[in-house]
Structure 1
């Protein structure tokens, strides 16, 4: 799909097309729609990130919590979105050794206990080892720092997804 085609979509089609860019959160696309026409992919991304950032904290928290754990229960049960499945598979998380899987499971649990939301990382271009290292490093953060990092990572994930969907 081209950016011109995206700009030509009515609100319902725009939300249906871009509603999954932010995990299980079509409200982000809906909030960005009035900014059409977008001059560039960058402008579309900026509008969507602004919608996310401008939302009440409860909506942001729901968005953060909509993201699946890396190599977590949803992946095991086959319940990930197509985008999340592709991202986790591309990083090799579907091929974890038992030791790596146990480590990721423990990190997911401990992270959620400490911060109250899942660990979010834009994993495109990373391998399992790099993901585990980043996971462990971010335990050193306080909640406010990690909250900000989660939103930055979500914006980065959204950018990757937009680039995969929209030509040019």
Structure 2
């Protein structure tokens, strides 16, 4: 859960450095990316911020990506459950047998690639995630690393959107 939600672009641009880094870190789990994005302020639009965040993410080292992946939950676990660390495992149709199957497939993925499975899954069924996970096991290592960065970019963008709120801000009554 993000502490900074709907703060608006102007408020983000005006935040003290430490607070801005914290707000972005909640979205991306990377201190270097958060600090670089906060240093790049002010942004003129949400899109400009999102594009810069993508550029920074895609410029990170593999070691930094591995560090980010450590913050993500094991697929097949409910948010808030033991060993769950983020909302990205919130899938629909989370019957226990499907969640167990997802957990087994996730362990296979980890053993195969050496890093945990990550996917933007909000709104997808457990069966959809399981299908995607199984399909991605056919990727070679380099291809999968590219897929992982793209998935992280989708997750970051969604979280940054939630942090900022709508373009133009909320109407104050």
Q: TM-score category by the smaller chain? A: 0.7 to 0.9
**What SS does structure 1 have at the residue aligned with 2:26?**
coil
RMSD after superposition = 2.0
One of 45, 48, 58 as aligned partner of 1:40: 45
1:12-68 Cα deviation digits (max 9, x unpaired): 11011121111x323311111222111111211222222222222211221123222
Q: Which ranges in structure 1 are unaligned for 5 or more consecutive residues?
A: none
Q: With the length of structure 2 as denominator, give the TM-score of the two structures.
A: 0.83
How many equivalent pairs are there? 160
Distance in 2 between residues matched to 1:88 and 1:109, nearest whole Å = 15
Q: Which ranges in structure 2 are unaligned for 5 or more consecutive residues?
A: 1-6, 168-173
Task: Indicate the residue corresponding to 2:110 in structure 1.
Answer: 112
Question: Contact between 1:69 and 1:119, CA under 8 Å: does it hold in 2?
Answer: yes
Distance in 2 between residues matched to 1:159 and 1:45, nearest whole Å = 6
Specify which structure has the bigger relative contact order, considering alpha-carbon pairs within 8 angstroms and separated by 6 or more residues: 2
Distance in 2 between residues matched to 1:78 and 1:34, nearest whole Å = 33
Task: Indicate the residue corresponding to 2:26 in structure 1.
Answer: 20
Task: Indicate the residue corresponding to 1:96 in structure 2.
Answer: 94
1:91-133 Cα deviation digits (max 9, x unpaired): 23xx632321221111111000111111110112312121111
Structure with more helix by fraction: 1
Structure 1 residue ranges, 4+ long, deviating more than 4 angstroms after superposition: none
